[in-house]
């Protein structure tokens, strides 16, 4: 049975480019942001006493002076005494005299390491004192070339941890010794700045590195996030270009284990990670694959819940979608749903902000109970945005025939060069069933049904090769324009998927690869290369139910 509800969009006054949330011991929530964004201005705060439903008007929090005119606010930490710790990115002028703007080039314009050497994006820091009535003088905390700052925590023992990544001079020609001489670990290392005295002094951990898939522009280990688990260990997830997160653990935040790959699939994008209490964690990330931008894409943002320190996850549900995904991507700059910053609330819900690019930033509140839903039904009228078919031709909504209520999704392969695929997300399940009602038109090609565990753009031509199960549904012999019910029931432990067409069982589908849980349907006409199918079929219903 479904519990909770889908994410609720919220509006923070004046924070269109994105706020950072923090929780006080009283349950009051702060939303901190900068105006104007990115170039020396005031740091402002809005307050909410109802989990983000309403907010006070923005009020000044910290003024940056002329010396900090280039400082860009990036991160908020509320410590155990309700004091604020603010972290900034500080672009500096490079050797060529051009500003090293932290928000300049996008993922599609990655500069080579040699173009960045000698340039800097430092880390700045300021903290409040006396119940946020006074502030320390803003100062430079670290000097070098870093990227985005994605998380900061204070452990139960009181140590403040700021994970970050930084540019090195490493190249393929000078890639290192030992095991690193047989691979390449990219241009960047990850590390952690830590303070045991409330931010007065800081120390830097050793470097953490991960392999990369190419030697030209892959970053390496970047934009790490950390969380303290219920057993006291500190867990780090590292953004990589390897199609998944890598992880490292620590007992004290100072010494860290060698990074290892996780089973969490991801594009080349950072995670948002927050602890709800006990062993419960919420993860926000881009479970996206096989797209040229960011080694997998950022068209949708996902969320999942773990009750066992992050060993297993439930949900994998879309919580944000790029509102401009229906347009061709912009030629420069970053775009999409990436860069989530979550904040756990006293109620057990989660506030988060995520998104890049004009009109793409989302502030929202998530009820983790919604991630545990065991049923989900498509509603073509109330929730058409659940279906992704951007970048296609021949996929469109149409009114049900014979004056029936509501709409259906029509899929036809109308042009040889354009895909005709529709994509739908439902709660991840190791054992579950999907029921579809299709209505083929006369002469329709078979339908291809793809079940998988990640998002890829509708134009993905390798989706069936990376799928968990693939079925081809022939329409020959079925009455044209007659409703055709199809049911697929999978059990990943048994490595099979049984399916029925109009109540008659077909040959079981074999599992193509390992998966922790099915959460995506991909549907299209099964045509050969260069072929079209102007008849196509309609999808009139889609329902999911997890098996006990």
pLDDT per residue of the chain (548 residues) written in tens, 0 to 9: 346 789 999 999 999 889 999 999 999 999 999 987 656 679 999 999 999 999 999 999 999 988 888 999 999 999 999 999 999 999 985 433 333 343 456 887 777 666 777 789 999 999 999 999 999 999 999 999 998 999 999 999 999 999 999 999 999 999 999 999 999 999 999 999 999 999 999 999 999 999 999 998 899 999 999 999 999 999 999 999 999 999 999 999 999 999 999 999 999 999 999 999 888 999 999 999 999 999 999 999 999 999 999 999 999 999 999 999 999 999 999 999 999 999 999 999 999 999 999 899 999 999 999 999 999 999 999 999 999 999 999 999 998 866 567 899 999 999 999 999 999 999 999 999 999 999 999 999 999 999 999 999 999 999 999 999 999 999 987 777 899 999 999 999 999 999 999 999 999 999 999 999 999 999 999 998 889 999 999 999 999 999 98
Please name the residue that has the structure tokens 């050497």: 117
pLDDT of 41 reads 75
Q: Nearest CA to 192 among 281, 252, 272, 260? A: 252
CA 400 from chain centre, in angstroms, equals 35
CATH 2.40.50.140 correct for 8-373: no
pLDDT of 95 reads 32
Tokens standing for 184? 């390449």
Kindly give the pairing relationship between strand 509-510 and strand 387-388. unpaired
Tokens standing for 401? 């025939």
Residue 21 near residue 78, CB atoms below 8 Å: no
Indicate where the chain has its CATH 2.120.10.10 domain(s).
8-373
Instruction: Identify the three-state secondary structure at position 25.
Output: coil
pLDDT of 94 reads 45
Q: Nearest CA to 440 among 537, 533, 540? A: 537
Strand partners, 172: none
Tokens standing for 425? 């997300």
| Phi/psi at 28 (5° precision) | -70, 145
Q: Which helix (H) or strand (E) holds 241?
A: none
Residue 260 near residue 285, CB atoms below 8 Å: no
CA 46 from chain centre, in angstroms, equals 26
Assign residue 381 a region (left: φ > 0; alpha: ψ between -120 and 50; beta: otherwise): alpha
pLDDT of 357 reads 92
Does a cis peptide bond (omega within 30 degrees of 0) precede residue 36?
yes
Please name the residue that has the structure tokens 């008659």: 504
Cα–Cα dist 446/50, whole Å: 52
Cα–Cα dist 122/147, whole Å: 9
The pTM assigned to this predicted structure is 0.95
Indicate where the chain has its CATH 2.60.120.200 domain(s).
377-546
Q: Where are the beta strands (DSSP E) in 104-196?
A: 121-129, 134-135, 139-142, 153-154, 160-167, 188-195
Given the candidates 3.60.15.10, 2.60.120.10, 2.60.120.200, 3.40.50.800, the CATH classification of the domain at 377-546 is 2.60.120.200
């Amino acid at each position: 049975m479904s519990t909770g509800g889908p994410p609720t969009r919220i509006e923070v006054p004046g924070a269109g480019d994105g706020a950072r949330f923090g929780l006080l011991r009283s349950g009051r929530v702060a939303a901190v942001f900068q105006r104007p964004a990115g170039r020396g201005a005031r740091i402002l705060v809005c307050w909410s006493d109802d989990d983000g439903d309403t907010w006070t008007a923005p009020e000044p929090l910290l003024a940056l002076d002329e010396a900090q005119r280039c400082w860009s606010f990036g991160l908020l930490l509320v410590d155990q005494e309700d004091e604020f710790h603010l972290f900034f990115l500080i672009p500096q002028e490079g050797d060529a005299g051009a500003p090293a703007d932290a928000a300049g080039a996008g993922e599609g314009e990655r500069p080579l390491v040699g173009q960045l050497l000698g340039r800097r994006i430092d880390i700045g820091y300021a903290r409040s004192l006396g119940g946020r009535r006074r502030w320390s003088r803003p100062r430079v905390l670290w000097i070098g070339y870093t990227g985005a700052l994605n998380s900061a925590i204070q452990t139960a023992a009181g140590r403040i941890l700021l994970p970050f990544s930084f540019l090195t001079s490493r190249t393929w020609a000078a890639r290192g010794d030992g095991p690193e001489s047989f691979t390449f670990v990219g241009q960047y290392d990850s590390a952690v700045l830590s303070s045991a005295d409330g931010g007065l002094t800081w120390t830097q951990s050793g470097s953490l590195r991960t392999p990369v898939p190419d030697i030209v522009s892959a970053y390496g280990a970047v934009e790490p996030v950390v969380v303290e688990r219920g057993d006291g260990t500190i867990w780090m997830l590292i953004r990589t270009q390897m199609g998944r997160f890598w992880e490292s653990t620590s007992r004290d935040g100072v010494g860290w284990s060698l990074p290892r790959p996780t089973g969490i699939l991801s594009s080349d994008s950072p995670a948002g990670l927050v602890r709800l209490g006990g062993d419960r964690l919420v993860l926000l990330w881009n479970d996206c694959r096989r797209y040229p931008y960011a080694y997998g894409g950022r068209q949708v943002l996902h969320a999942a819940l773990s009750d066992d320190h992050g060993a297993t996850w439930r949900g994998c549900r879309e919580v944000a979608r790029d509102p401009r995904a229906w347009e061709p991507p912009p030629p420069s700059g970053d775009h999409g749903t990436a860069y989530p910053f979550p904040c756990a609330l006293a109620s057990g819900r989660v506030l988060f902000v995520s998104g890049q690019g004009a009109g793409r930033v989302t502030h929202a509140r998530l009820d983790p109970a919604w991630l545990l839903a065991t049923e989900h039904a498509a509603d073509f009228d109330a929730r058409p945005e659940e279906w992704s078919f951007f970048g296609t031709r021949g996929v469109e909504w149409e009114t049900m025939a014979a004056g029936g209520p509501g709409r259906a999704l029509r899929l036809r392969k109308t042009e040889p060069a354009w895909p005709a695929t529709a994509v739908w997300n439902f709660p991840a399940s190791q054992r579950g069933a999907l029921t579809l009602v299709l209505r083929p038109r006369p002469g329709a090609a078979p339908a291809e049904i793809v079940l998988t565990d990640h998002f890829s753009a509708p134009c993905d031509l390798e989706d069936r090769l990376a799928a968990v199960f693939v079925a081809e549904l022939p329409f020959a012999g079925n009455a044209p324009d007659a409703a055709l019910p199809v049911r697929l029931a999978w059990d990943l432990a048994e490595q099979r998927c049984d399916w029925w067409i109009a109540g008659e069982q077909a040959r079981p589908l074999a599992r193509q690869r390992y998966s922790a849980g099915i959460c995506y349907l991909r549907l299209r006409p099964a045509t050969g290369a260069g072929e079209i199918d102007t008849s196509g079929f309609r999808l009139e219903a889609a329902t999911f139910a997890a098996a006990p």
